[in-house]
A and B are shown apart, each in its own frame.
Chain A
Amino acid sequence: MNFIISLSVLFAFVTVFSSLWILDDMTTFGIEDHPFFSSELTEKPLIFLIGSSHVSMLNATYMNNILSQQNLDYTVFNLSYDGDKPSIRIHNLQEIISLNPKLVIYGISYRDFNSQNPDKNALFNNVLPDPKSLINKILPTTKFDQINPKRLTFDVLTSLNPKLSSQESNLKIPNTPFISFGEHATMIFNNTQLLKHPKGNIPIYSIDSSDDNPEVKNLKKIIQELNDNDIPLIIFSTPLHQNYLKTIPDSAKQDFKIIVDDVRNDYSITYYDFSNTYSNLDIWADLGHISLNEKSLVFSDDILKIILERFYT
């Protein structure tokens, strides 16, 4: 009888997880499947901005206007999207390469390399060996590690009935195909308001700077792949609010620096550090995102300067 009960439980597990797998395959289209990559783009040479939503706050329309005023015949596309990190970006790298951009500017941040399963009692690990890290090394990463079932369920439900969506993300910016913005993203909040509503700060616990961290490994693969295809790459660390920076442990900052120094030395990459540049200015929509507001264009201006410097020199 125990065997039959165990079989029933196994059957239940297989049914549910295979449904999840099938549904994910049927409904989830990666960025690589986005019509942008198969559409006819401008004949002008392309500049791509890539990274997470931190990068999304760079206003591609504004940047293109300035470039045309400067008679620079390039078009900027902001190809950032929510939740991007090297292990996700690598899946659409070939599509990016196939469009043959003249420059790729990649915004990275602490969150990209944050430990997957933060150990809230990390203090303990310094004394005796940690079985968790051993198990993580032994167990292979599966497709299920990448799936967010709740988001999948919502995607299916909202595709059946759009009224179920609670998102107010309806603002689209030209040349920014993979992300839409809510009203919140265009507003500026002062320090007091940001303290009261601490949003946009994914907690950073610790960063593994070694190649055991799949994000580090994938970042290096991305750089290598772009190098192999002679596509110039500039990396910058995305700006963060001072209240967010204060919450990041020094050890994590140090490990992030090790990652950056490593890739700079190994691949001769140009790197700009914006993490602290605007940390105390009133230009923030939340603790991790500069506002998409005309008063916050300083970030877009500074990236523009990098582009101009690149092409004028």
Chain B
Amino acid sequence: MLFNTIDFVIFFIFVLSIIAIIKNRNFQHIFLLCVSYFFFYFSSNYLISLLIFSTILDFYIGKMIWKTTSKQKKKMLLIISLTGNLGLLGFFKYADFAIMQFNILGNYFDLTNNIPLLNLALPIGISFYTFQTISYTVDIYREKLTPSKSLREFALFVSFFPQLVAGPIVRASEFLPQLREKIDGISKLKQITIHSNNLKLGITIMAFGFLKKMFFADNIAPLVNHVFSDPVGLDSMSIMLGTLAFGIQIYGDFSGYSDMAIGAALILGFKLPINFNKPYFATSPSDFWRRWHISLSSWLRDYLYIPLGGNKKSESRTYLNIAVVMILGGLWHGASWNFVIWGMLHGAYLVIHKLISDRFPSLNNKLFFKSKIGTLICILITQYFVFLAWIPFRANNLDHTIYSMQKFILFDFQTNGFISLIFQQKFSVGLIILFIILHIVSYKKYNIVEHINKLRLRYWTMILIVILGAVVFSYEGNPEDFIYFRF
């Protein structure tokens, strides 16, 4: 079920109404679990069985890891959990990709028989919920987390509908405690109450999510599609505009989804971690990854980078770890070489940045880099490389990628095609300009959502009307998928 459909609006109003009317804690939790499963079943049908399998597997393995005292047995159980989850992910997401590579290799060695592709449908949200369940068992193994008290609570953690299909990737340690409260010193299931503060703030956050996704991302998409359907022959300015547009589109699309998820969860009284923190104001590659898809980058740090040794081993090993993590992070987005290239580029940025920081530590303390102009220069340089990396992420094939990246790097000073592109795509170009202005305003006024939320109800309603008006009057009549659903 897409957030940007009337189906979701009806579904969400129904859920809120039932939660508000029936106060029984047990009922509320079971109801929330059932509607979460329905939400998933609505778009994934029988593939809900994978979600249930992953839930049951990790709940019982988590319990067993906790109970057993033998280190070896703990390790064995963890391996079973990882094999189960990564096996699911690998089979459904990467099997066909692997077969294709194998066939290409086979053709190279003149092997005539190709292995037929499995043509599997990618189960929606599998990359997100498997990462959540993996973090649960790993945290229990590391003794950082006690197992969930009941299967019902664990199932709700895995399937909680606002974040189920496209994150943020929530840790059990962040979510499970929110399902309980202490009354007279006794831990009980939490009463789910819709507080007016949460309701108002949640709606504001959701409204901004809808604005980012439906007003900005969906209406900038035609320009992106125009440029990247066949970029060969376009001038540098057009490629740069298309790349800028895609950077805004993917940010609006994904952070918009995260906002809707965070807002919907907040209305129900649950706090989900923020997933984006103005990533296009990052001043370095590492700063970018502290601001972009935070729940994934912190997951990769805690469950991949650190187990690989992090920065605790040799210098060269640290660089290798960074590169491996970023390549796998790229591959997480999809079984395709373009995501690998995107990950490699970001890995290279992080390694080079770390190399410079390590070799010239005094640079960090230079007053120039702390001044406004220094910060601005750092932002521009960082974003130049971030946007360069968006090209392989979006381009349709390797030829398009190479051509577009060449034009992005080697500026050709042609303007004819660019001017006609602007005239053809006036609306999208106008939205890009508006987005940049609003982005700068939001950077200066640190939390614009909080600011609007604190307005008196009549002014708040007016802003809601403006946002809703922008969304509705620019809607084309067919809800667009979220890009991250594909991952």
Q: Cβ of A254 < 8 Å from any Cβ of B?
A: no
By the criterion of a CB under 8 Å from any partner CB, how many residues of chain A are at the interface? Answer: 40
Interface residues of A in 12-29 (CB under 8 A from B): 12-13, 15-17, 19-20
Known contacts A4-B457, A166-B425: does B43 contact A128 (CB below 8 Å)? no
Given A121-B43, A149-B474, A16-B200 contact (CB < 8 Å):
no
Residue of B38, B46, B473 near A150 (CB, 8 A) is: B473
Q: CB of A164 within 8 A of chain B? A: yes
- Chain B residues, Cβ within 8 Å of A198: 229
Q: A147 and B477: CB pair below 8 A?
A: yes
B199 cross-chain contacts in A, Cβ below 8 A: 2, 5-6
Residues of B within 8 A of A125 (CB): 45
Known: A121-B43, A150-B475. 20 other contacts (CB 8 A): A2-B194, A5-B196, A5-B203, A6-B199, A8-B460, A11-B461, A12-B461, A12-B468, A16-B468, A17-B472, A121-B121, A124-B45, A130-B45, A131-B38, A132-B7, A147-B477, A150-B477, A153-B473, A166-B423, A166-B427
Are A8 and B457 also in contact (CB < 8 A) when A124-B121, A128-B45 are?
A: yes
- Of A11, A135, A153, A164, the residue contacting B426 (CB under 8 A) is A164
Chain A residues in 8 Å Cβ range of B42: 131-132
**Whole-angstrom distance from the CB of B19 to the nearest CB of chain A?**
11
Q: Does B465 contact A (CB under 8 A)?
A: yes
Would you give the shortest CB distance from A11 to chain B, in whole angstroms? 6
Say yes or no: B476 contacts A150, CB within 8 Å. Answer: yes
- Chain B: CB-nearest residue to A11: B461
- Chain A neighbourhood of B106, CB < 8 A: none
> Out of B20, B46, B200, B473, which one reaches A152, CB within 8 Å?
B473
Query: Of A12, A19, A153, A154, which is within 8 A of B464 by CB?
Result: A12
B457 contact set on A, CB distance < 8 A: 4-5, 8
Measured CB to CB, the residues of A under 8 A from B are 1-2, 4-6, 8-9, 11-13, 15-17, 19-20, 117, 120-121, 123-125, 127-128, 130-132, 135, 147-154, 164, 166, 196-198
Contact string, B27-40, partner A, CB cutoff 8 A, digits 1/0?
00000000000100
A131: min CB distance to chain B, Å: 5
User: Does any Cβ of A come within 8 Å of B41's Cβ?
Assistant: yes
Report how far A117 CA is from B468 CA in the complex, Å: 23
Task: Report chain A residues within 8 Å CB of B469.
Answer: 16, 19
Assembly CA distance A177 to B423 (angstroms): 27
Task: Evaluate contact between A166 and B468: CB separation under 8 angstroms.
Answer: no
CB distance from A277 to the nearest CB of B (A): 28
Residues of B within 8 A of A164 (CB): 426
- CB proximity of A44 to chain B, nearest CB, Å: 40
A153 to B431, CA, bound (A): 15
Beta-carbon contacts under 8 Å, B430-487 to A: 457, 460-461, 464-465, 468-469, 472-478, 481
Interface: B316 (CB within 8 A): no
Q: Is the CB of B203 within 8 A of A124?
A: no
Closest to B218 in A: A150
Identify the interface centre among B219, B230, B425, B469: most chain A CB within 10 Å of its CB.
Answer: B469
**What residues of A have a CB within 8 angstroms of the CB of B426 in the complex?**
164, 166
- A9 and B425 form a contact (CB under 8 A): no
Contacts of A132 in B (CB 8 A): 7, 42
Contact of A9 with B472 at beta-carbon distance under 8 Å, contacts A127-B45, A197-B229 already known = no
Report the Cα distance A20→B469, complex, angstroms.
Answer: 9
- Please, could you name 14 A-B residue pairs with CB atoms under 8 Å apart, sorted by A? A5-B199, A5-B200, A16-B468, A121-B121, A124-B45, A128-B41, A130-B45, A147-B477, A148-B477, A149-B475, A150-B474, A151-B476, A166-B423, A166-B424
In the complex, which residue of chain B has the Cβ closest to the Cβ of A119? Answer: B43
Considering the complex, give the chain A residue whose CB is closest to the CB of B457.
A8
For B477, the chain A residues whose CB sits under 8 A away are 147-150
How far apart are the CA atoms of A120 and B44 in the complex, in Å? 10
B430's nearest neighbour on chain A, judged by CB, is A164
Using Cβ atoms and an 8 Å threshold, which residues of chain B touch A2? Answer: 20, 194, 196, 199
B327 to chain A, nearest CB (A): 28
**Contacts of A19 on B, CB cut-off 8 Å?**
469
**Measured between alpha carbons, how far is A164 from B424 in the docked complex, in Å?**
10
Report yes or no: A8 in contact with B475, Cβ–Cβ below 8 A: no
Residue pair B472, A149 in contact (C-beta under 8 Å) = yes
Instruction: Give A155 Cβ to nearest chain B Cβ, in Å.
Output: 11
Q: Are B475 and A15 in contact (CB under 8 A)?
A: no
Q: How far is the CB of A193 from chain B (nearest CB, A)?
A: 10
Could you tell me if B45 and A15 are in contact, using CB atoms closer than 8 angstroms?
no
Closest chain B CB from A35 CB (angstroms): 27
* CB of A96 to closest CB in B, whole Å: 26
The answer to whether B47 has its CB under 8 Å from any CB of chain A is yes
